[in-house]
Amino acid sequence: MRFIEAGKDTPVISGLTRMMEEDRCTLRWTWPREIEAVYIGKAPAEQADSFAGDIGNAKLYTRAEYKANNGYHSRIEGIGRYVFTVYACLEGSGGPQLVLQQEDNNRIEISAGKAKIYYSVTEKSGFFRKFKTVQIQVTTEVPVAKDVLCYVKKQGGYPSNKEDGMLYPFVAPFAAGRNVLPAIEVGKQDYIRLFFIDGRSQGQMYDLISE
């Protein structure tokens, strides 16, 4: 079995759609007339590009199975985003050939459940001190990489977004469960709030909740 690049006349997968019902996902697509089987690969979204051209966990699925089941069904467990890739399978003289499509019409992203990240920021200050001590605590359902979250410090009020103040990245990942960070000192008029570094993508995987 080997991969071939799609050419002008190569039959390819099109019209790939998804439908979610609780934790069950149904994929449907348009079959080229020449194709009787496909291989379906599934990978975490952040690893999908490195899996391109790798059928290590890909599953053979025939047109007859598709017709009998009215699509392809998969159970989605855990959290995060997954990418499904449907490879058209051609029969060649050297065995099956899987078609690599450049337009990504045979790839689709599925979002599983979101993991919750709770955080709190507590402050302690003395009447005669110029600074106050801040303690950040993060409690998460799953391990979280250090580049997912940041904290932002703003003078005179709480920041409304990650650009609304001085941004500080975290230097270590968060383990699942309760994480109490080392205390830091800030000015008495400084206020801190946590944000996603990339809210568009990370907001699909996690819910960030202030306690």
| CATH number of domain containing 29 | 2.60.40.10
Residues 134 and 173 in one domain: yes
Residue 71, phi-psi category: left (phi > 0), alpha (psi -120 to 50), beta (remainder):
left
Distance CA 168, CA 126 (A): 25
- Tell me: the pLDDT tens digits for 99-112? 999 888 999 988 77
What pTM was computed for the model? Answer: 0.62
Residues 120 and 199 in one domain: yes
Domain boundary among 96, 111, 126: 111
pLDDT value of residue 43: 83
Residues 6 and 94 in one domain: yes
pLDDT value of residue 191: 95
Residues 70 and 120 in one domain: no
Closest residue by Cα to residue 23 from 73, 61, 86? 73
Residues 176 and 87 in one domain: no
- Give the helix/strand (H/E) hosting 48: helix 48-51
Half-sphere exposure of 171 (CA within 13 A, CB side): 2
Residues 44 and 123 in one domain: no
Residues 102 and 176 in one domain: no
pLDDT value of residue 51: 55
pLDDT value of residue 108: 93
Residues 87 and 163 in one domain: no
pLDDT value of residue 48: 60
pLDDT value of residue 49: 61
Domain boundary among 89, 111, 133: 111
Those residues of the chain that have pLDDT short of 70 are 46-56
pLDDT value of residue 93: 73
Residues 73 and 123 in one domain: no
Residues 61 and 24 in one domain: yes
CA distances from 13 to 34, 40, 82, 83, 100 (A): 11, 11, 19, 15, 10
| CATH number of domain containing 135 | 2.60.40
pLDDT value of residue 56: 64
Domain boundary among 83, 111, 139: 111
Distance CA 138, CA 177 (A): 8
pLDDT value of residue 104: 84
Distance CA 74, CA 86 (A): 13
pLDDT value of residue 181: 95
pLDDT value of residue 65: 97
Three-state DSSP class for residue 51: helix
Domain count, the chain: 2
Task: Note whether 184 and 168 are within 8 A (CB).
Answer: no
What domain range includes position 47?
Answer: 2-111
List helix spans (H) across 71-184: none
Residues 28 and 12 in one domain: yes
Task: Note whether 19 and 72 are within 8 A (CB).
Answer: no
Residues 145 and 196 in one domain: yes
